[in-house]
Structure 1
Amino acid sequence: MPSSLSHSIRLALCMALVFLQLSGTSGSLLNCHKMCICASNIVSCSKMNLTTIPTALPKYTAVLDLSYNDITRLRAEWTTYKLPQLHNLLLSHNGLHFISSEAFIYVKQLRYLDLSSNNLRQLDEVIFEPLEHLEVLLLYNNHISQIDRTAFSGLNSLQKLYLSQNKVSRFPLELVKDKSRLDNLILLDVSSNQIKVLPTQELQTLPAWIKNGLYFHNNPLLCDCELYSLLAHWYIRKLNSAQDFRDDYTCVMPGQEKKVERVFELNNHMNCSSFKEANEEAYLEQTLTLPCDTKHRNMSKTWVLPGNVVVSPGSNQTAKVLKDGSLQISPIREEDSGNYTCYAISESFNETLYIKVTVHNFTLNGNGETLNTAYTTLVGCLASVVLVLIYLYLTPCRCFCCPGHSKSKSHHEDSIHSSMLSATPTHEDLATKAELNRHVAFIDPKDLQGQNGKVNPNGDEDLDEEALQGKDQRKKSVAESISSVFSDTPIVV
């Protein structure tokens, strides 16, 4: 019996050793001497052909590197106890295609998570919600085509999100705008995806410190002038997202050929107008707020008014610096026009912004109509002066002073020769107008044959009964020639 017992014990020990070896090969138990490298609080198990995450990880582990293995599923039980010190978890290049919604409940202190270069196809809702301290999330080079709108909810500390080289077809605007935005996000990379349309107007209204880290190059964007204006503005502001990848921003031209052009050359291909920074305009008594829209957040800002006057706190100036660094001028005056300068300073970066302000010399309500009336009155006065000068210096001499003309003839001239002021002249009007000292010379109707406004289109001159009786020799005018003064062609002598 003792010999058989000892034999059973030896057999059990051998099986245990074999099991340990097999389990060590499969990654079930942590072995810092064979499958991983343990250096203080760093555990590196990279390139060890592991199919599961080793168990019995030290609770003091701060960095866990499991990259370049064959771990295809990240289950909830990959760790059964809390790892409160773990802040870096690397799982890239594993063929990972499944992540449990409870995979991160025991590692809530993570600040850096690398899931890049795997086979992830979708991001479910609230998958990263426990990671409230996460700052960097790497998801590039996967096959992600679907992202739930709440997939990144709870990541209140997230600063950098890399989603490039996936199959994303919609720009995740909710991450940078409105109530669902991530307040601390300063970098969002969705380059090399399948995004065709951008919310250009919404992106243009974002603060510069957000736009500075928005990367969307190498997408099949549709070409239009709004896209060109957006990137041209960012390039002028020297934003990193536009300057670093200037030649990689391309778009697809409309048409059947689907020709690809560089966005910064659309002003040549689509006649897009060149972008210019818009200056600020204001009216008297308004409140004007000038933003100091810097590329970096939380910078110390100083404003200088026209005339190199520094805005100091507590002064009696109408301009004051608000908490967010913008400058408020209230009420604005005409002398507030000029160039304003904002100096932004941080520990590692300095930036200077210039804004030109033009103040109109009237209030926004009411005085605009007064200005138009004054302008109209001025134009009317100038026209009156011109007419008076014409009357004084360009009118012909009176007929009684002209040689070869009798005074009586001047009182009996035809309506065509005596007045150009009446639209429908009558014989009674002629008698009255003959008393006025205004005379305009006209070409004789006989000389106007073949021109518009001639006396008789047929070239015949018919005399009325009075002319035949010898009283007056008035010509019988055609109705069309006397219906309006503008039907004749006056020559001012």
Structure 2
Amino acid sequence: MSYRGKQTLPFAGCFKAYACSRVMLLLLLLVHPAAASSSLCQDLCICSSDILSCPQRNLTTPPTHLPRYTAVLDLSFNSILRLRADWTAVSLRSLHTLLLSHNNLHSLSPDAFTKVKRLKHLDLSSNNLTYLDEFVFEPLPHLEVLMLYNNRIGLIDRLSFSGLLSLQKLYLSQNRVTRFPLELLKDRNRLDKLRLVDVSFNRIRSLPLAELKTVPTWLKDSVYFHGNPLLCSCDLYSALSGWQQRDLRPVSEFTDNHTCVQPWSPIGGGKTSILQLHLQLNCSEVRVRDEEAFLNQILILDCDSRFRDATKNWIAPPLVNQSILLPLPDGQLQLGPLRAEDSGEYRCVVEGEGVNETVLVTVRVYNSTYGFGDGLNTAYTTLGCCILTIVLVFIYLYLVPCPCCPGKAKMAYEESCYASNLSLTNPPDPQGAPHVAFYEGKDQNGGIKCDAKKNDEDGDR
């Protein structure tokens, strides 16, 4: 009879104890994430509550074991080359500020920000980034400040900023950008939140002036594009001259940096001040705001101030009937039905704490319903005058009345001749004037020969 007992391997108890200890340690790390970051805070970073500051540690990759509660992460002044999709092992839902400036970043993974979706402030300045992929910032709907200045960015996909629904400030200066990021201004849903766009000192040759003209003045006051090799033109002068008259900061604070190059100048050629182009290109004078309207029209004036939330009050010209003025809740002024006397300069006074601005709007009401007098094209006017002149010449040449009654034309002719004879009297010669003698017939004596045939018959007699 054999007995089969349960066999125990050597050191089995030790193995089970070791496995249990590792499981307990893992559970401890999950429950207390601060234990995982204790070595991180002691060796690499300076930790203060939810702030991890790890600058100048010669890091080539971000630290892997980051606590979940991290709110501010400073990795600036290191040697990080690439931000991969798995740069953090856990989802950092509390992280709102990520500082990666002054590294050697040359590329961003398309999924680099999928685990930090709560970011509000992202600093990627002073790196070696050369391009921005499409949708690279799409996982960041809460991002408010994006700092990309002092890189080598030359290519920006038109969908790079598509996911930034809360973006307020974009810093793109000192790069190699060749086009203005117009997609930021076309999205009307983002205009209310956008506060600053800086594309200064890049390689932009032309600006979307038509689109910039429709941008609210409070946003124009924070769109910086100085230091670019813009091509000189009167349209560019008109835009900047209008900004200067409104004392907008991008022009008033950086006047000397607003230069342009002539289209025929070589790259790196001489620069010209944009605000002095009217002296070289004979550009027309710029006025702040002009509005044209016609009789009985309803017109709405916009107080396009650079101060968005200030109080706005309108002052109308003295001859305007106050009954046609209707202030609107958004600071606009409705006029109408308009009369010719309603032309003049309307002032919008913007007031508030530390705010003092006056917006001038010149209104011209044409004395017609459809503006015929000023709307008529000069070319058509000239053509009409030419046709009328030709018609009058034909009438003069071919439609002169003929002498219908015999003898009357002859009488008229004779009467005209005799009248001419009566008018030919010799005026007294001034004293000392030379006398000139002409030989004439005895009977004619200087008169006009009215009837040659009759005179011939009298001579025969």
TM-score tier, shorter chain, comes to 0.7 to 0.9
Match of 1:428 in 2: 408
Question: How far apart in 2 are the matches of 1:66 and 1:84?
Answer: 18
Partner SS state of residue 76, structure 1:
coil
Matched, 1:351 2:349: no
Match of 1:77 among 73, 78, 86: 86
- Residue 336 and residue 76 in structure 1: after superposition, are their counterparts in 2 closer, same or farther (change >3 A)? same
Match of 1:372 in 2: none
Superposed counterparts of 1:26-41, under 5 Å: 31-41=40-50
Superposed counterparts of 1:283-432, under 5 Å: 283-307=294-318, 317-347=323-353, 349-364=355-370, 428-429=408-409, 431=411
- Residue 334 and residue 271 in structure 1: after superposition, are their counterparts in 2 closer, same or farther (change >3 A)? closer
Question: How far apart in 1 are the matches of 2:197 and 2:421?
Answer: 81
Is this contact kept in 2: 1:156–1:183, CA < 8 A?
no
In structure 2, stretches of 5+ residues that fail to align are: 1-9, 19-35, 376-398, 428-447
Deviations 1:162-181 (A, max 9, x none): 11111111122221135686
Is this contact kept in 1: 2:134–2:157, CA < 8 A?
yes
Match of 2:186 in 1: 177
Is this contact kept in 2: 1:121–1:143, CA < 8 A?
yes
TM-score (norm 1): 0.68
Superposed counterparts of 1:80-479, under 5 Å: 80-177=89-186, 182-256=191-265, 258-307=269-318, 317-347=323-353, 349-364=355-370, 428-429=408-409, 431=411, 464-470=452-458
Quote the offset at 1:365 in angstroms.
6.3
Question: How far apart in 1 are the matches of 2:280 and 2:257?
Answer: 17
Is this contact kept in 2: 1:28–1:55, CA < 8 A?
no
Deviations 1:321-375 (A, max 9, x none): 3343221113123443333222334555342212232333432267989xxxxxx
Is this contact kept in 2: 1:120–1:142, CA < 8 A?
yes
- Residue 93 and residue 293 in structure 1: after superposition, are their counterparts in 2 closer, same or farther (change >3 A)? same
- For 1:466, the aligned partner's letter is K
Match of 1:409 in 2: none
- Residue 236 and residue 424 in structure 1: after superposition, are their counterparts in 2 closer, same or farther (change >3 A)? same
- For 1:464, the aligned partner's letter is A
Is this contact kept in 1: 2:37–2:66, CA < 8 A?
no
Question: How far apart in 1 are the matches of 2:420 and 2:302?
Answer: 65
Quote the offset at 1:304 in angstroms.
2.9
Deviations 1:64-120 (A, max 9, x none): 111000111111112232322221110011111121222212222211110011111
Question: How far apart in 1 are the matches of 2:137 and 2:320?
Answer: 50
Partner SS state of residue 176, structure 1:
helix
- Residue 443 and residue 247 in structure 1: after superposition, are their counterparts in 2 closer, same or farther (change >3 A)? farther
Deviations 1:469-490 (A, max 9, x none): 249xxxxxxxxxxxxxxxxxxx
In structure 1, stretches of 5+ residues that fail to align are: 10-26, 312-316, 370-421, 448-459, 472-493
Match of 1:475 in 2: none
Is this contact kept in 2: 1:117–1:141, CA < 8 A?
yes
Quote the offset at 1:250 in angstroms.
1.2
Is this contact kept in 1: 2:166–2:190, CA < 8 A?
no
Is this contact kept in 2: 1:190–1:216, CA < 8 A?
yes
- For 2:43, the aligned partner's letter is K
Question: How far apart in 2 are the matches of 1:79 and 1:348?
Answer: 46
Question: How far apart in 2 are the matches of 1:50 and 1:442?
Answer: 121
Is this contact kept in 2: 1:158–1:182, CA < 8 A?
no
- For 1:109, the aligned partner's letter is R
Quote the offset at 1:441 in angstroms.
10
- Residue 440 and residue 115 in structure 1: after superposition, are their counterparts in 2 closer, same or farther (change >3 A)? farther
Superposed counterparts of 1:51-70, under 5 Å: 51-70=60-79
Is this contact kept in 1: 2:65–2:89, CA < 8 A?
no
Quote the offset at 1:247 in angstroms.
0.3
Aligned residues: 378
Question: How far apart in 2 are the matches of 1:29 and 1:78?
Answer: 19
TM-score (norm 2): 0.72
- For 1:359, the aligned partner's letter is V
- For 1:428, the aligned partner's letter is K
Quote the offset at 1:271 in angstroms.
2.5
Question: How far apart in 1 are the matches of 2:143 and 2:356?
Answer: 28
Deviations 1:125-165 (A, max 9, x none): 11111211111100011111111111001211111111111
Quote the offset at 1:185 in angstroms.
1.7
Partner SS state of residue 269, structure 1:
helix
Is this contact kept in 1: 2:316–2:346, CA < 8 A?
yes
- Identity of aligned pairs, percent? 48
- Residue 424 and residue 210 in structure 1: after superposition, are their counterparts in 2 closer, same or farther (change >3 A)? same
Is this contact kept in 1: 2:301–2:334, CA < 8 A?
yes
Please report the RMSD computed on the Cα atoms of aligned residues, expressed in angstroms: 3.8
Question: How far apart in 2 are the matches of 1:323 and 1:440?
Answer: 83
